Structure 1
């Protein structure tokens, strides 16, 4: 078999040899061109099928193939028609190419390369455009999804699941090269990445243009993420793009389209205050894949462990008087309280005890049912509902979930967090967009806590209401908005508006767009003036993004569970075909009609594997179970999840980087696949796996979970971070108690902590001031994580009318070896 070139673990040849990606970023819009090189080294014609991820909000706008000297450009057609043309071409011996979006999730595409003759090569070109999301530190985030984790589909659910052929990231049999060109009217200050980059090369003295490349030897163990930083990033902008010369005026592609980018800034008085009410519901993924390391640089910190720590910070930072509840889900779901309860010392402590016990032990990833249960609960009067969703996003029914969130968007705001490589961008971004909240991705070396706490700050801001967009245009020119209505505005976050401009005006004419809204009872507005003269060299990027925005809005209108609205479907198909942008109801089809020779012989299907993060990390107890079949009943739920990652004996062997023979050989002769294996053969299997554990390196390409096991067979938890240790001792009211646990967290003895306290000062006041000094003195770099709970502590101290605060701060500084000023503590 080695004569056939690259092989999958199933010993099938892989015809995909390389992927070349060229990225062009202009301000906050990215154009991505991917070239996929296929080569058939077999002695028979093949059909290569590659299922891979793309950003969920990308507008795929070009698909073509080059075979020899012939280029074939694909057309967008109704999906069923495109499939039939593809099948007809193959059955008549013609070459054909089909690119289509998954029916379940808009961030998964399938590329079929049909009738590639023996010895033949084909170069496939795929192009898409996408907006770049703004991060908490004002960086623009571009992500090239490289990792496609299997999507969990529960047994008995309707609809065909996306068939993903995947291998451990270290075994991906094709190469990736990546280069980027960045340009902006403002200087580019830096470009960062979780992957290794060659140095940034500036192309001009103004530093408004630059190029960067992925360093050689990139491993397919992570998505390729770029963070691009401009100076003065928060400048509102508007770009007008000319219509397509060949398109009819009055149509979307024939008229100019404007893209407006606004950055509303709120008054400091509003930003410095936080709400003291709200119903906070936290929904945590506890599927088996959450037991994987959050990134490759720290194999010990799992996703579920990071989520537990984050929930600790969240619970300590909630305001007194609010309501809260915590749900967790896998194949089933649980909740800590039957309904949301008032936040108090008692309810907080009860919740924390249960959070501490949470493990990634609930099987698959079924988020729909817990969401339905949450939405079925009546909202609490004068307590705005804020939903926080934490998941690694491996769900199959993304569209159904987003439709549910949309239907309930008027009753809550949804803040979503995609954890780890391969999280579904369509799901995470869609939850926030449809739920009027904010989305965050935690990948690479990111820490979850600062991103989540930023979203908590957003949720504590007053909701912006009565949002309207007003256009002031020259006489005879009108604007038709293409993007969905703006439902959420947050401090410093960008709001994008696309509009088709119909009518004639002079190029010297100007227009203005205003976004009006009400914030904390005060009418406010943001506006940008712009020239109607079209920008140069934008191609049709703005038109395609506008068309994509309108297509997505129409698709969301399709009611969940109902028969497809034919009028709506027809409208989407017409818009998709006209704009050349993909949709749920269309596909790209290309047939090589110039090749007069029919291709002889039956086609052999070759599934091109996508890299997956979760190969052997499936927690060690999964491996032990999976070697010889499900053991004890308690592991039944886990097996549902494990089946996604290890679907055959050969797959398991590949995940463990062993041959099938090496895996089979040490199995005790009397053990069948149905034996209650865990209790009888645990030691032998651990002995077999141990060499693999000890050989792990921190940069190992696969997502292995190699933590030590305690006596119960569960991973031991590492010692708690000093910051979290101190935070865990804070009371719901905001104060700390003066006790041995606090002394230990401060690195002192009880006697050392108690001795310098001024005699007339309350013990809790003294303890709380010490905790605040320690946070400011030793953890100022993590201030965004503890700032809200520190504000609560300061409010508590003020409420006590405590004497001698200045003396306490001086004594506390002397004790802890700090020099924190009283003013910087907020006292």
Structure 2
């Protein structure tokens, strides 16, 4: 097969020359990470990847190396292996606290060991301990991921660098949780685990990068491949990076396929279980819950349903309320700010006179070009012109305080009689993702949320989660030339979907209750892919039902086709775990056991588990005497901060940790072993950008910032929330107030209002895990519009009664996570367990 590969931009991208403000090395040699190799095997719309990281100890004492690195946010990590000194040790997936204890115990005994942990959907930490002098250790991760598809093209995106993130909040005054350069705060309790040190621009000895993607269309018609931002070669279906590329941007490959609707049924292969070891004994995580998913048997196979959208009808679109949020923080400097302004302006230009809108630009403060008290304004020519004029003047500055503008935007989108849309344009580089989800998750479920991620190393995991909660779409833009194509997709998504209210009906196939991933809606040019579990034989059919734009019914029936492979089960398990983790983040802490059990059952890594590999041979008596945190590249396109004066890295004692970064409020170059950071008044946030992840927090202790203590430093988990409804009680109270205000509606309008209320309550019920009373009420209200025999007055009285009981007074909800009034910041997060 020979397919021409073309660039997304005119010309080719040459690697940056080895020039810059300086170089860095330890007093005993180079940094430990020597190489990163990525082998991707793309088969139709799925991809299997093996990531190989090569570490070498250039010192004369045993070494522990830490590397904070990215992986695709939708990928399922299913295997882990450590190789050294002709020995191969297979990793075991365990509950995260247990895995950490096993690793620390092995390191203290002098055994070679490695551990891989997930910090965010796309941020991971690798630790490799007791690498003896001169030794090379290789660790391999195996993962599977789906390829998103729309407008005739699938996209393989592989991130290569963890970009600096803005860290809000008050610093915690206990030991740091990780080895990064930012202090943990009450808003981001694990900030030190997601902020690796950053290399100076022009570092002359970058990590050797090799990336190969082998493409098998598997019967689909592959017409074109396009690459972005990297210099590649292509031969007979194999794409390779040319030597010299750096780990400073995402690798993106777009494949032009002709997709089709299909239902694939994949029976399970061998069940994955964590193997017992001599030290840990028999597995304790899966027995008793081995075949359980949310209380249901998880089935015998995985189905993959792909549905193409129907042709667009001529139905008239309803009026919309659109809140547009534009991130103008310091990390958006350069081409990203230009692209963000263009994207936001194009969204404003597509609004019609029937729409209302608001524009909020934010960094550390929120600005409204149409007036602070204006709220939503009609999308007249004059108002749209004023908004575009404001957008054209924006420049990057300040920190990324995202929570407040999102709260303000949601406060504007409260009219249930109009389609409510929130559009967020940002790079997503914030650390307080969990705080935002906890505060806003239930409210996002009642609004359609679209995210536009602009960066060459975008925080895709967080932006994808936001879009998923709001049943919207996430578009990633890695270059200005990609913007026009991406905005065409966004414009269609802001418009009404072609088919809504999707549901599945099985024929001859027993679908496991609660296992189906989010159905969402059908949009023009965007096929819908749904995963789920089934019991029994791999045969049967599924029919997809929904409503067209004009209110008419729509359905498509697909016969199942048996297939083989492990990827569908792993991809489904990762999506299922992500859904449970999101529910945990908004307060359902009792789900921890279910998350761990599902992760171990399906052999897929999550934030509650970790892969650990321990060699039985003792190689370093007394454990490692030197620790190094591997610095990462500054993402391509990011502007480096100014430097007061370059400082040469001094030789360090064998026991000193080596951390190299650009740090300090004035842009001072720091190296491990140098003066302790944290002068009084130093900001938390983007100091280099007017507040950001290069800053060292005020009063931050030096030790935990630069070296990882050998003992675990995870605090006990927060106690389970006794009433999961607490998180949505303010929204239920608001719905009750609106319901009472509509008492005077005529019967037809009452019926429509109750149906709309039912859809919103269903979203809230789903977000808190399907609370029985709320789910039943939502189901009955939603059905009344299509049931002429329904007693609307009785339903109205029932809705008032149940919402009164479920909402309470609403005064105690929604305050979790706020730092207001706290005498001191406190730590309580699930990834801090010992």
Task: Please indicate, yes or no, whether the TM-score normalized by the shorter chain is above 0.5.
Answer: yes
Report the equivalent of 1:395.
Answer: 430
Q: Following TM superposition, by how much is the alpha carbon of 1:134 offset from its aligned partner in structure 2, in angstroms?
A: 1.5
Q: Counterparts of 2:357 and 2:327 in 1: how far apart (Å)? A: 17
Report the equivalent of 2:626.
Answer: 604
Q: Following TM superposition, by how much is the alpha carbon of 1:653 offset from its aligned partner in structure 2, in angstroms?
A: 6.0
Q: 1:403 to 1:524 in 2, by over 3 A?
A: farther
Q: Choose from 96, 102, 109 the match for 1:79.
A: 96
Report the equivalent of 2:716.
Answer: none
Report the equivalent of 2:642.
Answer: 623
Report the equivalent of 1:380.
Answer: 415
Q: Choose from 508, 512, 525 the match for 2:541.
A: 512
Report the equivalent of 1:553.
Answer: 579
Q: Following TM superposition, by how much is the alpha carbon of 1:497 offset from its aligned partner in structure 2, in angstroms?
A: 2.1
Report the equivalent of 2:195.
Answer: 163
CA contact (8 A) 1:467 1:515 kept: yes
CA contact (8 A) 2:339 2:483 kept: yes
Are 1:527 and 2:553 an aligned pair?
no
CA contact (8 A) 1:165 1:608 kept: yes
Report the equivalent of 1:457.
Answer: 492
Q: Following TM superposition, by how much is the alpha carbon of 1:357 offset from its aligned partner in structure 2, in angstroms?
A: 2.4
CA contact (8 A) 2:64 2:129 kept: yes
Q: 1:215 to 1:579 in 2, by over 3 A?
A: same
Q: Residue deviations 1:619-674, cap 9 Å, x none? A: xxx638x679xxxxxxxxxxxxxxx984159976699xxxx9xxxxxxxxxxxx99
Q: Choose from 177, 190, 199 the match for 2:210.
A: 177
Report the equivalent of 1:139.
Answer: 153
CA contact (8 A) 1:478 1:502 kept: yes
Q: Counterparts of 2:666 and 2:79 in 1: how far apart (Å)? A: 37
Q: Counterparts of 1:649 and 1:342 in 2: how far apart (Å)? A: 43
Q: Residue deviations 1:163-219, cap 9 Å, x none? A: 3122256426211111111222223222221145555333xxxxxxx3222223323
Q: Counterparts of 1:601 and 1:427 in 2: how far apart (Å)? A: 37
Q: 1:649 to 1:465 in 2, by over 3 A?
A: closer
Q: Counterparts of 1:385 and 1:118 in 2: how far apart (Å)? A: 60
Report the equivalent of 1:287.
Answer: 329
Are 1:28 and 2:45 an aligned pair?
yes
Residue 612 of structure 1 aligns to a residue in which SS? coil
Higher RCO (CA 8 Å, separation ≥ 6 residues): 2
Alignment of 1:489-500 (within 5 A): 489-500=522-533
Q: 1:518 to 1:605 in 2, by over 3 A?
A: same
Q: 1:523 to 1:575 in 2, by over 3 A?
A: same
Q: Counterparts of 1:408 and 1:324 in 2: how far apart (Å)? A: 18
Q: Counterparts of 2:155 and 2:366 in 1: how far apart (Å)? A: 33
Structure 2 residue runs of 5 or longer lacking an equivalent are 1-21, 171-184, 274-286, 647-659, 675-679, 682-834
Q: Choose from 115, 126, 129 the match for 1:114.
A: 129
Report the equivalent of 2:228.
Answer: 194
Q: Counterparts of 2:479 and 2:214 in 1: how far apart (Å)? A: 22
Q: 1:178 to 1:523 in 2, by over 3 A?
A: same
Q: 1:402 to 1:380 in 2, by over 3 A?
A: same
Q: Residue deviations 1:70-95, cap 9 Å, x none? A: 11111111111111221111112111
Q: Following TM superposition, by how much is the alpha carbon of 1:315 offset from its aligned partner in structure 2, in angstroms?
A: 2.2
Q: 1:542 to 1:175 in 2, by over 3 A?
A: same
Report the equivalent of 2:402.
Answer: 367
Q: 1:238 to 1:601 in 2, by over 3 A?
A: closer
Q: 1:149 to 1:36 in 2, by over 3 A?
A: same
Residue 349 of structure 2 aligns to a residue in which SS? helix
Q: Counterparts of 2:343 and 2:413 in 1: how far apart (Å)? A: 27
Q: Counterparts of 1:7 and 1:269 in 2: how far apart (Å)? A: 60
Q: Choose from 22, 33, 44 the match for 1:16.
A: 33
CA contact (8 A) 1:9 1:651 kept: no
Q: Following TM superposition, by how much is the alpha carbon of 1:63 offset from its aligned partner in structure 2, in angstroms?
A: 0.9
Residue 200 of structure 1 aligns to a residue in which SS? strand
Residue 422 of structure 1 aligns to a residue in which SS? coil
Q: Counterparts of 2:589 and 2:670 in 1: how far apart (Å)? A: 45
CA contact (8 A) 2:428 2:463 kept: yes
Q: Counterparts of 1:627 and 1:597 in 2: how far apart (Å)? A: 42
Report the equivalent of 1:694.
Answer: none
* Alignment size in residue pairs: 598
Q: Counterparts of 2:51 and 2:327 in 1: how far apart (Å)? A: 33
Q: 1:392 to 1:597 in 2, by over 3 A?
A: closer
Q: Counterparts of 1:309 and 1:40 in 2: how far apart (Å)? A: 47
Q: Following TM superposition, by how much is the alpha carbon of 1:499 offset from its aligned partner in structure 2, in angstroms?
A: 2.2
Report the equivalent of 1:213.
Answer: 240
Q: Counterparts of 1:160 and 1:559 in 2: how far apart (Å)? A: 14
CA contact (8 A) 2:326 2:360 kept: yes
CA contact (8 A) 2:233 2:242 kept: no
Residue 166 of structure 1 aligns to a residue in which SS? coil
Alignment of 1:458-473 (within 5 A): 458-462=493-497, 464-473=499-508
CA contact (8 A) 1:324 1:340 kept: yes
Report the equivalent of 2:589.
Answer: 565
Q: Following TM superposition, by how much is the alpha carbon of 1:316 offset from its aligned partner in structure 2, in angstroms?
A: 2.4
CA contact (8 A) 2:424 2:451 kept: yes
Q: Counterparts of 1:611 and 1:274 in 2: how far apart (Å)? A: 49
CA contact (8 A) 1:32 1:129 kept: yes
CA contact (8 A) 2:663 2:670 kept: no
Q: Counterparts of 1:187 and 1:381 in 2: how far apart (Å)? A: 44
Q: 1:437 to 1:245 in 2, by over 3 A?
A: closer
Alignment of 1:402-417 (within 5 A): 402-404=437-439, 406-417=441-452
Q: Counterparts of 1:121 and 1:481 in 2: how far apart (Å)? A: 46
Structure 1 residue runs of 5 or longer lacking an equivalent are 1-5, 203-209, 293-301, 629-643, 661-672, 675-827
Residue 577 of structure 1 aligns to a residue in which SS? helix
Q: Give the helix-richer structure, 1 or 2.
A: 1
Q: Counterparts of 2:571 and 2:82 in 1: how far apart (Å)? A: 24
Report the equivalent of 2:174.
Answer: none
Are 1:589 and 2:612 an aligned pair?
yes
Q: Choose from 362, 369, 381 the match for 1:345.
A: 381
Q: Counterparts of 1:347 and 1:196 in 2: how far apart (Å)? A: 41
Report the equivalent of 1:242.
Answer: 268
Q: 1:246 to 1:379 in 2, by over 3 A?
A: closer
Q: Counterparts of 1:308 and 1:89 in 2: how far apart (Å)? A: 52
Q: Counterparts of 2:498 and 2:419 in 1: how far apart (Å)? A: 9
Q: Residue deviations 1:725-753, cap 9 Å, x none? A: xxxxxxxxxxxxxxxxxxxxxxxxxxxxx
CA contact (8 A) 1:7 1:14 kept: no
Q: Residue deviations 1:501-541, cap 9 Å, x none? A: 223x4x7xx3111221112201112332113x4x24x2x21
Q: Residue deviations 1:84-138, cap 9 Å, x none? A: 2211111121111111011xx2210000001111121111111111111124x42
Q: Counterparts of 1:397 and 1:379 in 2: how far apart (Å)? A: 25
CA contact (8 A) 2:168 2:432 kept: no
